Structure 1
Amino acid sequence: MIIDTHCHVYTGEMENAEDIIRDALDNDIHLILNGTDFKSNNEVLELAGKYENVHAALGYFYTMADEITDDDISLLDRQLENENVIAVGEIGLDYYYTKENKDSQIQLFERMLVLAEKHDLPVIVHSRKAMQDTFDVLKRHDVVGSLHCYQGSSEMAKRFIELGFYMGIGGPITHKNNKKTTKMLKEIDVSHILVETDSPYLPPQEKRGEPNTPQNILYVIRKIAEELDMDEYDIIEITSKNAKKLFKLNF
């Protein structure tokens, strides 16, 4: 059994989403689907109720920072009570394109973390060109979770781990010249990592130019095992154990 801890396998992102989910089920791959807005949150809930290998993470992405209302927060608050929801995500900060709405991004991120505290749920965090602010916000809250597609330094990873966070490792670990992630991987213990695909985004090197799918998590596992000089089955066992512990999964 493998747990893809971060993907977007729903029709808003992939036309053949349910075929991909069924294929994952046939191959004993569990999926944590991450919503980012009203539409995707609703679809994630629907799919989690339909497929035994699908688990729901709901949240509002940084792209909604300038439009979110109190009613929107109340809606998500109610949705988080659903028994199939195991995390608040995908949430976080992204200053790659602009920092002009930095304050509203942080405000939305804070509101998501307050909901996570209220419902005692872990969080799945996106952080791009905003690592220090992400850390500063997280340390103000009583939450644990994962840093999706972590691309920061080894030193910062260790600081996040002290807060109770795991580092999400996906397709970029296989990309040529990704020395920072490889270095980080070797400097933290494997007990602090999760595997993910971010499907349909961030395909591994072997599938560049194609939509990513959960099946490609095998390339991620293979690369991690190679870099750490470990058996692939041990990587699967350890990362699955990590995911079960963080997201309180009982299977």
Structure 2
Amino acid sequence: MIIDTHCHVYSSEMENAEEIIKEAAENDMHVILNGTDTISNREVLKLSEKYDNAHAALGYFYTLADDITDEDISLLDGQLSSDNVVAVGEIGLDYFNGNDNKDSQIELFEKMLNLAEKHDLPVIVHSRKAMQDTFDVLKRHNVIGSLHCYQGSAEMAQQFIKLGFLIGIGGPITYTNNKKTKRTVKNIDIKDILVETDSPYLPPQEKRGEMNTPQNIRYVIRKIAEELDLKEYEVIETTAENAKKLFRLKI
């Protein structure tokens, strides 16, 4: 069994989302679908109710930091009570285009973490050009989870792991010039790694220019196995167990 712990396979992102989920099921693959706004959260919930291999993660993305209302928070609070929800995500911080709204991003992130604590759910965290702030905020909360598409240093990864977080590795590890992610993988334990695709984004090197799908996770697995001198089945089995434990998947 393979578990893609982070993808956006729903109709507002991909026209053939349901076909892709069915294909994943045929290949003994489970997917954690990550919502980012009210529309995608609703889609994710419906898909998780319809397909046994689809699991829901719901949250509000950093791009909504200046627009989220109390009503939106209340709506998400109610949705998180569903038995199909396995995490709060995708949430986090992103200063790639500047940090002019840093305070509002952090405020929204804190609200998401408060909901995770309330519902006793792990979190799926996005962090780009904001690694230290992400770490500092997470330290203030009693949460565990994953660092999606981890972009920090190997040293910082160890600090997140000490907080109870696993490191999400996806397509970028296959990129020829991405030495940073390869170094991180080599310096942490396979028991601290999750595999993901971020479909339809971040396709592996072999599929650059194409829409990404969960099927491409095999390229990620292959590269991790190569970097760690492991068999592919060892990466599959260990990362699946990691995901089952973190997200309490009864599969």
Once the two structures are superposed, what CA deviation does each residue of 1:143-191 show, in whole Å capped at 9, x if it has no partner? 0000000011011000000000000000000001111111110111110
**Partner AA of 2:249 in structure 1:** L
* Separation in 2, partners of 1:110, 1:174: 33
Q: Which runs of 5+ in 1 are unaligned?
A: none
Superposed, 1:10-29 pairs within 5 Å as 10-29=10-29
Once the two structures are superposed, what CA deviation does each residue of 1:195-232 show, in whole Å capped at 9, x if it has no partner? 00000000000000000000000000000001100000
* Separation in 2, partners of 1:55, 1:246: 13
Matched, 1:138 2:138: yes
* Separation in 2, partners of 1:22, 1:70: 36
* Separation in 2, partners of 1:187, 1:127: 20
Q: Which runs of 5+ in 2 are unaligned?
A: none
Name the counterpart of 1:95: 95
Structure 1 runs of 4+ off > 6 angstroms?
none
Name the counterpart of 1:47: 47
Matched, 1:32 2:27: no
Superposed, 1:116-127 pairs within 5 Å as 116-127=116-127
Matched, 1:172 2:172: yes
Superposed, 1:152-163 pairs within 5 Å as 152-163=152-163
* Separation in 2, partners of 1:46, 1:229: 40
- Displacement of 1:98 after TM fit? 2.2
**Partner AA of 1:135 in structure 2:** F
Name the counterpart of 1:217: 217
TM-score (norm 2): 1.00
- Displacement of 1:72 after TM fit? 0.7
Partner of 1:245, secondary structure, is helix
Partner of 1:152, secondary structure, is coil
Partner of 2:238, secondary structure, is helix
* Separation in 1, partners of 2:98, 2:187: 31
Once the two structures are superposed, what CA deviation does each residue of 1:79-110 show, in whole Å capped at 9, x if it has no partner? 00011000000000000012110000000000
TM-score (norm 1): 1.00
Name the counterpart of 1:76: 76
* Separation in 1, partners of 2:85, 2:250: 13
Once the two structures are superposed, what CA deviation does each residue of 1:101-140 show, in whole Å capped at 9, x if it has no partner? 0000000000000000000000000000000000000000
